[in-house]
Structure 1
Amino acid sequence: MLGDLIGETQGQDTGRRVIAAGDGHVTVEVSFQGSGSYFGVAVNTIGTYESELRPDGSLYGEGQGVDMTADGQSVTWHGSGVGHFTADGGTSFRGALFFFTTSPQLERLNGVAGVFEYETDASGKSTGKLYEWK
């Protein structure tokens, strides 16, 4: 069951590269940066994910990143999800993130499975929402 909204993010792709291609198989690495908040605590985020184009046209991705508060506290995350291309040339993903932090402000994220909705447009601008999975 979906629980409370953990937070929202906005970002921009900062780099893309093809890391595998051939025989109908394509994997692209995307790096991004952005900002948002978790439980009302503002963070700046950087991350990288790999997205594989599957033969049926769907996407599978795995990624990792770090989010930092203004005073230098951090939370790391790892996640995976599935998605598809959108009509406007962007992507739409759904998946889960898992966190680790020693930050007193963000320790509520430890042990949480965060379920996300993540959208990008053709220019690489992104928005995301993250909910606690109870």
Structure 2
Amino acid sequence: MLGERIGEDIGKITSQRVLPSEGGAPRIETSFQAAGAIYGVKATDLGTYVACVRPDGSLYGEGQGLLMGQAGETATWKGGGVGTMKKDGAISYRGAVYYQSASPAWQKLNSIAGVFEFEIDPQGNTKGQLWEWK
């Protein structure tokens, strides 16, 4: 069951590069930077993920990143999800993410699974939303 929404951010793709294919599947590495909040703490989210195009045209991606709060909080994350490419070039992902943090404001992240929506518009702008999976 999905719990409350615990975070959201807005950002921009900062770089992309094509990686060698594996098993014939095209792969792209994408990095982004976003600003928002998680559990009410304002934060910057830096992340990189690798997505491959599957035979049916859908995407599968895995990534990792770093959250940095305004008062020195830090958390790392790893996650994965599936995506679809829209006709206009936008991409929409859905998946799960797992965190690790020693910062008191974010220690609760250590014991949750997060479920996310991550949208990328044709200009490379991103919007992420995060819910606690109970």
State the TM bucket, normalised to the shorter chain: over 0.9
Runs of 5+ consecutive residues of structure 2 not aligned to the other structure: none
Residues 56-76 of structure 1, C-alpha deviations (whole Å, 9 max, x = no match): 000000000001011222010
TM-score by length of 1: 0.96
TM-score by length of 2: 0.96
Shift of 1:22: 7.7
Name the CA distance, whole Å, in 1 between partners of 2:98 and 2:32.
18
Shift of 1:21: 3.5
* Runs of 4+ with deviation above 4 angstroms: none
| Cα pair distance change 1:110/1:24, threshold 3 Å | same
Name the CA distance, whole Å, in 1 between partners of 2:88 and 2:127.
15
| Cα pair distance change 1:75/1:23, threshold 3 Å | closer
State the SS of the aligned residue for 1:110. Answer: helix
Shift of 1:6: 0.9
Which range moved further: 41-50 or 15-24?
15-24
Q: Hey, what does 1:13 align to over in structure 2?
A: 13
Identity score, percent = 48
Q: Hey, what does 1:77 align to over in structure 2?
A: 77
Q: Check whether the contact 1:35–1:43 (CA below 8 A) recurs between aligned residues.
A: yes
State the SS of the aligned residue for 2:111. Answer: coil
Alignment size in residue pairs: 134
Runs of 5+ consecutive residues of structure 1 not aligned to the other structure: none
Q: Hey, what does 1:63 align to over in structure 2?
A: 63
Name the CA distance, whole Å, in 2 between partners of 1:21 and 1:133.
33
Name the CA distance, whole Å, in 1 between partners of 2:131 and 2:70.
23
Equivalent AA in structure 2 for residue 116 of structure 1: F
Name the CA distance, whole Å, in 2 between partners of 1:129 and 1:122.
18
Superposed, 1:1-134 pairs within 5 Å as 1-21=1-21, 24-134=24-134
| Cα pair distance change 1:100/1:22, threshold 3 Å | closer
Shift of 1:39: 1.1
Please, what is the CA RMSD of the aligned residues? 1.2
Name the CA distance, whole Å, in 2 between partners of 1:109 and 1:24.
37
